[in-house]
Structures are given as structure tokens and as C-alpha cells.
Amino acid sequence: MPRRREARDKVTIIDIADAAGVSKSTVSLVLTGRGSVKSETRERIHKAMDALGYVYNRGAANLRNSDSKIVGLVLNDLSNPFFAEFAIGVESVLQMAGYVAFMANTAESIVRQAQVMRMMREHGAGGIILCPALDTAAEELAWADTADTPLLVAIRRLPGVAASTVIPDNTAGSARITRHLLNLGHKRIAYIGGMHSMVVRQDRFLGFSGAMAAAGNAIDPGLNIESMPTRDGGFSAMGAALALPDRPTAVVCYNDVVAIGAMLAAAKRGLVVGRDIAICGFDDTSEARHVSPALTTIAVDAVGLGERAAAMLLERITNPDAPATTHIGPADLVIRESCGAYHHALQAAG
């Protein structure tokens, strides 16, 4: 891994002006936030700053060093209970180490993500933990190669980014829950939720399809239904699955939030989840334990992943030349009522 650049501050606004094809005064206006600059010009200047590894000093020079006690925590969807639990884990470790989390929610916006990460670097964050927004490209984080702000990528891996990574074992977990449904006798199983462009969706679908193939079950393309990873997305995707002439008997969902939306859609159509149809999630959020029927899911310990992410980032802050590392957390099956296992056991006993 390249050593972090020591001479970043040698980049001047003249260098930025040359790279962006604008005047020095225009660059100054963008940096200070004064005056009116066309949005396309402003964007060109920001891209030049990123390419050159320049971070504007807003008077926080006293924080911009190895002693900074601020860590940026950038979450892609704070409305999802999983990320709230992840943040709890991060903050618990940072607090014990004497650090403070500066948290931001991007709501899956890569534009917002770029803005808040730039602000965090400008204001002297000692490091940043990023849960990437949907469609984040590796080149948008190219600054991690040389910048003096350590970056850790969490939950959604980003191949090609020079950063440590903390993720759950998505493929193994999805395969595990699919095998559970197969063992209950299901063959026509749908996979719903998440967008194909999402690396996590790709990993989880790989586990699902691998388990189906190993059991000799073909996957009906009509039962591979994408949606945003939200409750509304799950509700919509489940409605599409149930509208099919030959509806699925079981559903593996991208996450718990999608699964809860799917359960609501099933109930709206008069189906009893756990008896008429099996529905499973992924993450084991606190909400999964309290819905009715309780949700069968994959437990990935969001709090534990947050704790590990914070510990790994602090290690990079302390030892900046250490190589990037990857932690893959366990993904364990948690059986509850929504999959119909208890109903199946009662039928077998009877």
C-alpha cells in the first residue's frame, strides 16, 4: 500500500486553478464559499482538488494531525435499524478511546456522501468510517491512497479502494438460510430486495443461487425481484411475487427491513406468514425479534461489526503505515416463526 503523502499542503490553489482551467480567484471563491460560481465550474474545481489530494484548511489545523480526536461516521441509511445498531458499536469503542464520532446520514446519495466526507476531512477528522451509498465508485475514494485521513469501509465492500474493510459473511449467511428453507421442503423460493448494482446484493444472491443449485433447484428469473432495500421496496417486490400465477412458497429477503415490508404485503393479501408462506430476512435487527410473527433471519451482530470497525480504524490512526486489512464477521441462522419451521414440526409430529 502506498505511504501516506507527507507534503499534501504543498499543493496550492494555483495548481488547482491550472488543473481545473480556471483563475486563482475562482478557486478562492469556491474554497471560501464567497461569491457566485457556476455549479459546473465548482464541480470541476472540486474534482481537481480530489485528484491533487488537496484539503482546504478552514482554521482547523490544530485538529488536522495524528492527535485529532474526531472520527467521521458516514452512514448510508440511518432509517434502517441495522445502521443505528452499527453506530452504537462504533461509538462505544470510540468513547472508550477518548474519541468523538461526527456522524452524517447520506440517505443513499453519493452527492451528499462526497460533500460530508470533504467537510470531515477539511475540519480535521482523524479518520473516517464509511458505509458507502448506493452506486459509490472506487475512483470517488481514490484520495484514500495518499491522504492523511485514514478510511475504513464498512458493510458494503468496495473493490479497488485502499482502505480496511469490515463486512458480514453475506454469501455464507444467504446460503445458510436458503438451505434451511430447502430442508423445510420448499422448492419455489423467491429472492427479493436490493438492487443488482449493490455488491452486498450480489454476494447474498450468490449464496442463495449456490444453495439452490446444490439442491438441484432451478431459479425462476421471475422470482429474482429487485427493489430498494427499504420497507416500501419489500412491500412492492413481494406484491409482484404474489401476483405471479405460480407464486413462491418461500421468500429470502435482502435484509430485515425488506422482509418486514414483504410480511406486510403478504398479510394484506390474506396470507398467514409462517403457515401459508415462509419469509426470511438478513441482519437480525431488534425489529426482527419484535414483529409478529417473529422473523427468521441471519444474525450478523451489527453492534459487534461497529465495534470492530472502530477498533480497526483506531489502529490505522495509530499506525498509519500498517497495511489495509479485512474483517468478515459471522452470519448465523436464527430460526423464528416466519419461516414456518414450528408449523412444519407440528405437522410432522401430528
3-state secondary structure 278-318: EEECCECCHHHHHCCCCCEEEECCHHHHHHHHHHHHHHHHH
Is residue 2 very low, low, confident or very high in pLDDT (cuts 50, 70, 90)? Answer: very low
Is residue 60 very low, low, confident or very high in pLDDT (cuts 50, 70, 90)? Answer: very low
Q: Do domains 1-54 and 170-299+333-349 have the same CATH topology?
A: no
Give the three cell numbers for residue 94.
470510540
Q: How far is CA 7 from the centre of its chain?
A: 32
Domain map (residue ranges) of the chain: 1-54, 59-166+304-319, 170-299+333-349
Give 84-142 pLDDT, tens digit per residue: 999 999 999 999 999 999 999 999 999 999 999 999 988 889 999 999 999 999 999 98
Distance CA 250, CA 187 (A): 8
Strands (E), 46-155: 70-75, 100-105, 127-130, 151-154
Helices (H), 188-301: 199-214, 231-242, 256-268, 286-290
Give 149-198 pLDDT, tens digit per residue: 899 999 999 988 989 999 999 999 999 999 999 999 999 999 999 999 99
pLDDT score of 6: 45
Type of residue at 321: D
pTM metric for this prediction: 0.78
Is residue 7 very low, low, confident or very high in pLDDT (cuts 50, 70, 90)? Answer: very low
Q: Which CATH number fits domain 170-299+333-349: 3.30.2320.20, 3.40.50.1980, 3.40.50.2300, 3.40.50.300?
A: 3.40.50.2300
279-306 burial: b if 16+ Cβ within 10 Å, else e: bbbbbbbebbeebebbbbbbbbbbebbb
Mean pLDDT of the residues in the chain: 89
DSSP string covering 315-339: HHHHSTTSPP-EEEE--EEE--GGG
pLDDT score of 239: 97
> Class assignment of domain 59-166+304-319?
alpha beta
Give the three cell numbers for residue 87.
453506530
Q: Which CATH number fits domain 1-54: 1.10.260.40, 2.30.30.280, 3.40.50.720, 3.40.50.10800?
A: 1.10.260.40
Q: How many residues does the chain have?
A: 350
Is residue 46 very low, low, confident or very high in pLDDT (cuts 50, 70, 90)? Answer: confident
What is the residue whose three cell numbers read 406486510? 264
Q: Say what percent of the chain tops pLDDT 70.
A: 90
